[in-house]
Amino acid sequence: MSLCGSVSAANLTCQTSSIPMGKQSLRRRRSSPLRVVCMDYPRPELENAVNFLEAASLSASFRSSPRPRKPLKVVIAGAGLAGLSTAKYLADAGHKPLLLEARDVLGGKVAAWKDDDGDWYETGLHIFFGAYPNVQNLFGELGINDRLQWKEHSMIFAMPNKPGEFSRFDFPEVLPAPINGIWAILKNNEMLTWPEKVKFAIGLLPAMIGGQAYVEAQDGLSVTQWMRKQGIPDRVTDEVFIAMSKALNFINPDELSMQCILIALNRFLQEKHGSKMAFLDGNPPERLCMPIVDHMESLGGEVRLNSRIKKIELNDDGTVKNFVLSGGDIIEGDAYVFATPVDILKLLLPEIWRDIPYFKRLEKLVGVPVINVHIWFDRKLKNTYDHLLFSRSPLLSVYADMSVTCKEYYNLNQSMLELVFAPAEEWISRSDSEIIDATMKELAKLFPDEISADQSKAKILKYHVVKTPRSVYKTIPNCEPCRPLQRSPVEGFYLAGDYTKQKYLASMEGAVLSGKLCAQSIVQDYELLVSLGQKGLAAASL
């Protein structure tokens, strides 16, 4: 899910399938759109958190910066959260962003589509955490805080050895951080024994004492390697961190860098509401992305869909001359930003840039495959919660009954489960029907009284399978030094994306922060970019 992030995946390609069962179509017994029907909790008090204040200060710096005597035209490739964030904050600073999106939908890793029945299906299961200060500021700046549906402060895990039962970590609201998190762990006696908790706590002491320097030094070890080095029983990894690793980066703990886990634990445990979760109240393109676009366009920015970059054309000195679109259009600007997934950037890198160390290090950053599954059932499932659930399944990561958790998707009579299928490397090339069959076998274990693999109990009305062959970058050991800063060594060329250097790793928060840092770099380089433009005009006149 990119737990320190969203449960989401970027689309290099996206395959979907909508299969009505027989001639029966899904009859929607739904109340009016966005009617308040879910058991939501009040928005937590985030405004006094240090990270929230830091993010708010960065946002304010764009609005208060001196108005440019000549606004820059900044061409941005990619309308995911990184590109949208870059454009939004450049517009706040008085510049004129032009956002180019290859597809006909906004959102990138948070894209979604509407099927013939009017139901939405998404690229990923998106969770918004209290420990997302830049995302939370963004919602406030756009005036859409009410679109987040906050859930109770808990983390809920399925119990494979007790089918149909769950184990909870409940964070008391009356306790400050990190005591509330410690209390939640100590009170849970179903997943870890007391000796295991003690050994785990002792193993974590170096991270708590060593701080950020220690955390960064663990990038060379996988989760499994670090746990064993610290003398933590393998059962702790099996019981907790397989689920955590799959939620954070869609891979297992023998592959995931321990730095990723430690950063997530630090964010979630050091802030009282850090691990508190919220669902968006509807589909991301309309409920989150369009408010950003409306804001940017009100300040003179522009968005163009169906505008795929075919080539980055260079000047004689190696700087960017223009972007050439697949339809032949040539787009020129005062500065250029690539806010696409890293795999797309690598495909389009000009040949003469490839040996520059800044770009050459990108070779190790590779998107991880992930699959998002939506299944509509003919009845309301009872063995679920109004919350995100960790499946602890070998094939599934996290899931939610979106007919309960999300206002726009609410349905009184039928459930729609949205599930993240991960790790997906061995499944990404398999047929949708094979993936659904495997998913149903796992669901039969989670819902033994309600679901069977042969559909003799709850029946599938339809399903959608969204495959993303290259999603967020695979956070394996020794990747951290390869993550690039937003300002590239090529004057006038910048990067944004959750794979770029920022402290929240591969997540929605990381994407938004990367966009802010990219916009900040461009604002700081204003005089340089103006002078580059003047040189270009002089050369053209000659």
Q: What is the pLDDT of residue 178?
A: 87
| pLDDT tens, per residue, the chain with 542 residues | 443 333 333 333 333 444 433 333 333 333 334 443 456 899 999 999 999 999 999 999 999 999 999 999 999 999 999 999 999 999 999 999 999 999 999 999 999 999 999 999 999 999 999 999 999 999 999 999 999 999 999 999 999 989 999 999 999 999 998 899 889 988 999 999 999 999 988 888 888 788 778 888 999 999 999 999 999 999 999 999 999 999 999 999 999 999 999 988 888 888 999 999 999 999 999 999 999 999 999 999 999 999 999 999 999 999 999 999 999 999 999 999 999 999 999 999 999 999 999 999 999 999 999 999 999 999 999 999 999 999 999 999 999 999 999 999 999 999 999 999 999 999 999 999 999 999 999 999 999 999 999 999 999 999 999 999 999 999 999 999 999 999 999 999 999 999 999 988 899 999 999 999 999 999 999 999 999 877 665 555 54
Q: Parallel, antiparallel, or unpaired: how do β-strands 154-158 and 389-390 relate?
A: parallel
Q: What is the pLDDT of residue 267?
A: 81
Q: CA gyration radius for the chain?
A: 23
Q: Are 44 and 276 in contact (CB under 8 A)?
A: yes
Q: Are 451 and 381 in contact (CB under 8 A)?
A: yes
Beta strands of 357-504 (E only): which ranges? 370-377, 389-390, 396-401, 416-421, 460-468, 493-495
What are the beta bridge partners of residue 376? 416, 462
Q: What is the pLDDT of residue 200?
A: 87
Q: What is the pLDDT of residue 1?
A: 45
Q: What is the pLDDT of residue 3?
A: 39
Beta strands of 83-127 (E only): which ranges? 96-100, 112-114, 120-122
SS3 content of the chain, % helix, strand, coil (to 5): 35, 20, 45
Q: Is 386 exposed, middle or buried (0-12, 13-18, 19+ CB in 10 A)?
A: middle
**What single-letter amino acid sits at 474?**
K
**SS3 at position 9:** coil
Q: Parallel, antiparallel, or unpaired: how do β-strands 112-114 and 120-122 relate?
A: antiparallel
Nearest to 86 by CA among 542, 506, 499, 494: 494
Q: What is the pLDDT of residue 470?
A: 94
What are the beta bridge partners of residue 421? 371, 396
Q: What is the pLDDT of residue 414?
A: 97
Q: Are 533 and 334 in contact (CB under 8 A)?
A: yes
